[in-house]
Amino acid sequence: MEDALRLLSSLGVSLGYEDYSRFISQGVKVGLVVNPIAGMGGRVGLKGTDGEAARRALELGAKPTSPGRAVEMLKYLKRYAPPIRLFAYPEEMGEAEALEAGFKPTVVGELRARPTTAEDTMRAVEEFTSIPVDLIVFVGGDGTARDVMDANKAGIPILGVPAGVKMYSAVFAVSPEAAARIVARFAYTGLPVRMAEVMDVDEEAFRANRLSARLYGYLPTLYESRLVQGVKRVTVVDEERLQLIELAERLKPMFKPGVAYVLGPGSTVKALAEALGVDKTLLGVDVVVDGRVVELDADEARILRALEGREGRVVVTPIGGQGFILGRGNQQISPKVIRKVGARNIIVVATSTKLRGLDALRVDTGDAELDAQLKGRIKVLTDRGEVEVEVV
């Protein structure tokens, strides 16, 4: 029990023996649904798995990522031993992941098709509503969030475990571990609920290098400011355009002959590349050597090939309003790529305006050990020079 109380203290929960005993004899009801194909398109450069992209991702050798993210979250949750009763959708949509993490969930509903579809996610939410559960936890991306929103007619609080490619919405925890901490806090002491934005992009336009994002609605979401991400901000104002010019001048001397530069997505990096005479994609990951693009809109495998026998650098910018530099929309820059280049060779660039809107930078590569190595103070190149920012 003492170990459990110490773990709770790390969550900011202070309980005595009597309170702890009372809590574990009760339990909030939590419904778990996993979108098993979410995120598969990331490392193979498909920018999502909507529609035919899921089939194409499998053809390219993509592996499911969301089941592993679900298990990671549940294993963290198991450590905190919160007073919950776990309900899960069958097989790979929650049950299998819960069993692997050591839970014995109550299984509800049935799968009606293979591969699973958005309708399965919606039916899971409807099943949880009929129980009713106190909290719905889903594992997926923005598309999954839309499905949950459409089916959650009863307004049950929800929490997203990030496992997609885009994740522009403000309904996600910043990582699987953060999601576990939020669920545990909710079970022990409760947490405030806020209406959070559900965003999504047109994946076909996204793959064609056009960003078309829109607000689809709102979901009641557990809120803990340090552990829940903000909504993605996508606009570049005129002030920032001037800052980008200055930032490009500061970046030029850092480009060395013979070095392979892996340029991440986003309007900031694209504007910097164009100022340096490089025509890169807006939403893809490109590799540049000696001022020439050698891989355009590359997936993980092509990036790794371009790095063979060469020194490498990765250039990324934080997502506005969220602070992620790795693990959101740039999964092609995978743990293998990062280890190949080396953590010291990651160049983070941002305008001073973008940086002012962030309390910290974040990483969520899908590799917990690597994430831990990347956390700490990091230098960010801005239009005003280098500044140190905390990666949390």
CATH code of 238-391, in short, is 3.40.50
CA dihedral 198, 268, 362, 171 (to 10 degrees): 0
pLDDT higher than threshold 60 for residue 207? no
- Residue entry with tokens 């005479």: 277
CA–CA gap between residue 245 and residue 272 (Å, rounded): 8
pLDDT higher than threshold 50 for residue 273? yes
| Alpha helices (H) along the chain | 2-10, 17-24, 53-59, 66-80, 95-100, 118-130, 142-151, 176-189, 203-207, 238-251, 267-275, 300-307, 335-341, 352-356, 368-374
DSSP reduced 3-state for 313: strand
CA–CA gap between residue 362 and residue 234 (Å, rounded): 17
* Helices 17-24 and 2-10: angle between axes, nearest 10 degrees: 90
338 Cβ contact list (under 8 Å, min separation 6): 314, 326, 346, 365, 370, 374
Q: What is the mean pLDDT of the chain?
A: 85
- pLDDT for residue 232: 62
- pLDDT for residue 58: 53
What pLDDT, in 10s, does the model give residues 78-137?
Answer: 999 889 999 999 999 999 999 999 999 999 999 987 788 999 999 999 999 999 999 999
Mean pLDDT, range 4-13, rounded to an integer: 56
CA-nearest of 126, 106, 125, 168 to 143 is 168
CATH code of 2-222, in short, is 3.40.50
Lowest mean pLDDT among 22-36, 42-56, 352-366: 42-56
φ and ψ at 250, to 5 degrees? Answer: -70, -30
DSSP reduced 3-state for 370: helix
143 Cβ contact list (under 8 Å, min separation 6): 35, 38, 48, 49, 50, 118, 164, 200
- pLDDT for residue 22: 45
CB 244 within 8 A of CB 351: yes
- pLDDT for residue 320: 85
φ and ψ at 89, to 5 degrees? Answer: -75, 155
Q: How many CB atoms lie within 10 A of CB 218?
A: 15
- pLDDT for residue 390: 96
CB 274 within 8 A of CB 244: no
- pLDDT for residue 115: 82
CA–CA gap between residue 61 and residue 44 (Å, rounded): 8
- pLDDT for residue 243: 85
What are the boundaries of each domain within the chain? 2-222, 238-391
Sheet holding 28-34, edge to edge: 106-107, 84-88, 28-34, 135-140, 158-162, 213-222, 193-201
Q: Which two tokens stand for residue 318?
A: 């934080």
Same fold, 2-222 and 238-391: yes
CA-nearest of 198, 194, 200 to 225 is 194
Residue of 267 and 149 predicted with greater confidence: 149
Q: pLDDT band at 296, cuts 50/70/90? A: very high
CB 367 within 8 A of CB 331: no
- pLDDT for residue 237: 52
For residue 217, list its beta bridge partners: 198
- pLDDT for residue 55: 56
CA–CA gap between residue 247 and residue 272 (Å, rounded): 7
CA–CA gap between residue 135 and residue 363 (Å, rounded): 26
pLDDT higher than threshold 60 for residue 289? yes
Q: Over pLDDT 70: what percentage of the chain?
A: 81
Q: Which pTM was predicted?
A: 0.74
- Residue entry with tokens 């997203």: 160
